[in-house]
Structure 1
């Protein structure tokens, strides 16, 4: 019996979609499986951030800079419904101590290829007219952008030409007598393939276990508040300086820092919170109140705006804050592209291009070694 696909991708979020897109462009036949709808997990709960401003120099920033270029290219190819906006980001500090930290951070980033401009406190309102008047200053990052993540995932899948099978959980990853992948099993039967890509996001650890592999992915819950539709009162993605420290933290405890951005449709999105509480989706009113208070401290105009809804999502967290991208160290034919935490939307195209090159023996677009899934086995 022949093989049904060169590659089976498990996960129809934005990372799985980008991997399918670039793998298909590299000449592979691709089938994408998901137990739910397109963007039904972390992608659908995301704000659509495409950021370089929050990343210190290192492998993740290199991945983000490549993705920034690739998203610009994709925005020219994909329909305008992905709502790509190269609007830039603005990171602000409440005092001079915070400004000094931002200045050092921006200087290190600049050496790695990130553009930024220091904005004194008295000029912040040139960028954001509704900002609080007493901030010390900030940095403008012109490379930051935003898009509509669920639409982007759907359009990448459509453009890939991959066969899409939704509402079909994978119940087993099948291996041969040598322990190498030979296919997957779902409720509808078996699908034969020699290559399976685990792009299951927060559930990436569970998918790995289906093949007898281990990947220490954990869920990290976050909430987003959505306001009523407004005129464009927030022009950029705006966040407080302590957001960078929260992103880099490995703490399981609750952390919140103000992140505010407008959308083409009108609502303002307010985040960000982080906590490791398993897959508990319980809506926390105290957390939402903290987010609202921090947002109105940045933008007093929001104090009189109605919050229409709040929702929770789970970021796929790995202990060293780098995604796992590459071959499983134990199971031949099993590949991983998950664990991007809150940056998966921004990092998706570079992840997809890197995976396609690795799958086909091409030249990787950057050093893949820091992302190798085998690093967790070595640390065990």
Structure 2
């Protein structure tokens, strides 16, 4: 008696886009892509937010951005973060619209701060001058001998690991995204991503959202992206009653962010959290992927925080953690298609601003892949600016 025999041949999964990296940038890209109906696989060799995102403070800042393309990206991200807080729930992100307060220790730094604020206002930033005698109304525990400051009401904060997980969950809830954690990418070519545990993933495009490790992923495709790790430490105090109302930092922090020096730089950055502990930063140094606990750096951060808030001098530090910011030489992220491999889109190199810039980065990537008109000129972020370093 004849019968039909149907052989079941395993097929490799096919996606519109494979996003490499399950940190904040990768999560934002996946969210934006699935919103436009694309199918997405998010691949990461570790867990969600297991890299730079999990070691961040969750800052959503415009206060530290000079007028230009990065500030334009930040302003759009601020708008999108507010939308996400409304649609997904502020608690699901631990979104706090706390505002930022930048303070100056002397008249010279105050003049520079006020000059920057004036330029930022012309670019659409809310920047409110605060005279020295009014600082205490905003922050009662602030040191009394400061020259003045500027209040930035648009600055906000999220809990970065929670926010990344929430965006990934929202993408998966559409039925168009899959998370492949614990899966390392071993090779890249047009139309496919080779992995160590899931075999070949066929796709139309690849987004490199691997952060500090983005250069390694680019190299798998034969591309070059000169990302270097820039180490930073954060101190976490014991739980405290509300002491710090805003994100507060010294004006010299902006110069540290813009510096290209490999040497250690630090400036006082202090902010409270909803859970009670105070977070203290910020340091920057290029020491490769050295994860050593640098006690002198921690002591320096603690001293700078106590200068801003003397009340912290007798507070216990419960722990310290470190992370590696993805540093590119011109301090701008790489966002867009590789000039020689247009199927590979870079979305990394945001240094310490990745959490804040993530939603707008995801939107830009989705618009470029969807042949939409970008909301801003992406040219300053074009990976082609590094093409001389490509083979």
- With the length of structure 2 as denominator, give the TM-score of the two structures: 0.94
Secondary structure in 1 aligned to 2:275? coil
Mapped to 2, the partners of 1:222 and 1:332 lie a distance apart of 33
Say if 2:104 is the partner of 1:96: no
Residue aligning to 2:71:
61
Contact 1:170 1:187 in 2 (8 A): no
Secondary structure in 1 aligned to 2:325? strand
Residue aligning to 2:123:
112
- CA displacement, residues 42-96 of structure 1 (integer Å, 9 cap, x when unaligned): 1000001000000000000000000000000000112413110111000000111
Mapped to 2, the partners of 1:318 and 1:26 lie a distance apart of 30
Residue aligning to 1:309:
319
Contact 1:95 1:135 in 2 (8 A): yes
Residue aligning to 2:181:
166
Alpha-carbon offset, residue 116 of structure 1: 0.9
Alpha-carbon offset, residue 183 of structure 1: 3.2
- CA displacement, residues 320-370 of structure 1 (integer Å, 9 cap, x when unaligned): 000000001112311110000000000000000000000010110111111
Residue aligning to 1:287:
297
Alpha-carbon offset, residue 189 of structure 1: 1.1
- CA displacement, residues 198-222 of structure 1 (integer Å, 9 cap, x when unaligned): 0000000000011111100100000
Secondary structure in 2 aligned to 1:315? strand
Say if 2:132 is the partner of 1:121: yes
Contact 2:193 2:201 in 1 (8 A): yes
Mapped to 2, the partners of 1:107 and 1:2 lie a distance apart of 55
The counterpart of 2:61, out of the listed 16, 28, 51, is 51
Residue aligning to 1:142:
153
> 4+ residue runs of structure 1 moved beyond 2 angstroms?
180-188
Secondary structure in 2 aligned to 1:364? coil
- CA displacement, residues 99-119 of structure 1 (integer Å, 9 cap, x when unaligned): 100110000101000011111
5 Å-filtered alignment, 1:216-365, equals: 216-365=226-375
Secondary structure in 1 aligned to 2:281? strand
Residue aligning to 1:133:
144
Mapped to 1, the partners of 2:132 and 2:347 lie a distance apart of 41
Secondary structure in 2 aligned to 1:6? strand
Mapped to 2, the partners of 1:102 and 1:16 lie a distance apart of 34
- CA displacement, residues 225-280 of structure 1 (integer Å, 9 cap, x when unaligned): 00001111000000001000000000000000000000001100000000000000
Mapped to 2, the partners of 1:43 and 1:212 lie a distance apart of 26
Alpha-carbon offset, residue 2 of structure 1: 7.4
The structure with the larger Rg is 2
Q: CA RMSD in A?
A: 1.1
